[in-house]
Amino acid sequence: MDEDIQKSADELIDKGKWAEFLFRFVNVLRINIAIVDTVGRIIVPPFREGDHGLYGSDFLTATFDMDFSGKGSFVRSFEQKGAYWEIKDGLDFHAFAIPIKIEADKIIAYLVVGPVILNKRRDQESYLADATRLNMNISDLVDHIQEIRVVSFLTIKSVLDLLAEVVKDVIEIRLEKQKLHKKRFEKEVLAKQIVDAAQDMYATIHLDEMLVTILDVAMNLTGAEGGSIMIVDEDKQHLTIKVSRGLDQAKIKATRVRLGEGIAGMAAQSNEPFIIQGSKGSNRIQHLLKRPEIKQSVILPLSSHDQVLGVLNLHTKSEEHKIDANVESIKYLSRLITTAINSL
């Protein structure tokens, strides 16, 4: 392994901080995540629960032909699928590798995501037959298989896109902090408060980019034609639009909703979601439904430990799209948004 790459990985990937950071996503996604260097040595191991791997991660070593020895290219057993690498084992479980880069072509490590089951879980008998063929210890096998999440191609693609964006942002913020600290060391005239302000601004820019990605994922999964993510202001009394799709820019700048006012403000104040079918909603918000062209909408508070951080809004003017059929996906995405807000 190239010494410069090893040094970059050591400087940018703090094992303890990344483990804490990734565990939030593992808990929300219900898919395990690990980090390995470019030759396969584990930097952050798959998460465990008791004496076995969480969400089936033990299968990464039991059934996947993954080389964790550090003696070769980690991805040589994988097949490249666009920006990511994919591998399948003898039980038809899939795992993915997301390259962690510091330059367009300089990979310092990989995020390993999985295992997952694509589209449909097979019957137990077929899994047991494959396990026997693979000479696996089949005790507790069925229980462990039940822990592995079943996802569609669209869902796992959205998950990988989101994780790739989050990792890119965290790495770039870390690199920017290194540059700023170097400047402060070289030029003491650059006051500490200026450096801190620059770091905060850089993190804010990346948070905006990440929220745009998450909003796009939410709209793709639900078929929504427009939406926004609103964040609670520093005064803890108002919501402002952080990112949006399909909204007029003048309206975005002018929107500042007091908690408790309007549908979004009521959702934020009560930490209660609203699902609206055309002009039909709960009695509390019926008088606020003044846009008949909107056929369906969802207003979902984004909260962490009972503290509301913002609101996710999605809507469609089409009769064909059924946002309410994807409420569970929306709730899962809302938890990812909250995780992202807390992570940067």
What residue ranges define each of the domains in the chain, with the CATH number in brackets? 3-151 (3.30.450), 191-343 (3.30.450.40)
Predicted pLDDT at 25:
78
pTM (predicted TM-score): 0.65
Whether residue 168 has pLDDT greater than 90: no
Is the per-residue pLDDT at 69 higher than 80?
Answer: no
Residue pointed to by tokens 């808990």:
27
List 113's β-bridge partners, or say none. 33, 96
> Model confidence over 277-333: pLDDT tens digits?
766 655 566 666 667 677 788 888 887 777 788 888 888 887 766 666 666 666 766
Res. 157: pLDDT tops 80: yes
Instruction: State how far the Cα of 80 lies from the Cα of 26, in Å rounded to an integer.
Output: 23
Q: Report the DSSP beta bridge partners of residue 193.
A: none
3-state secondary structure labels for all residues of 2-52: CHHHHHHHHHHCCHHHHHHHHHHHHHHHCCCEEEEECCCCEEECCCEECCE
Q: Which pair of tokens denotes residue 293?
A: 């062209």
**Once rounded to an integer, what is the mean pLDDT over residues 74-99?**
89
DSSP state of 143: H
How far apart are the C-alpha atoms of 181 and 183, rounded to whole Å?
Answer: 5
**Res 204 pLDDT > 60:** no
Length of the chain: 344
Predicted confidence at residue 113, as pLDDT, reads: 93
pLDDT greater than 50 at residue 153: yes
Q: Give the residue with greater pLDDT, 95 vs 317.
A: 95
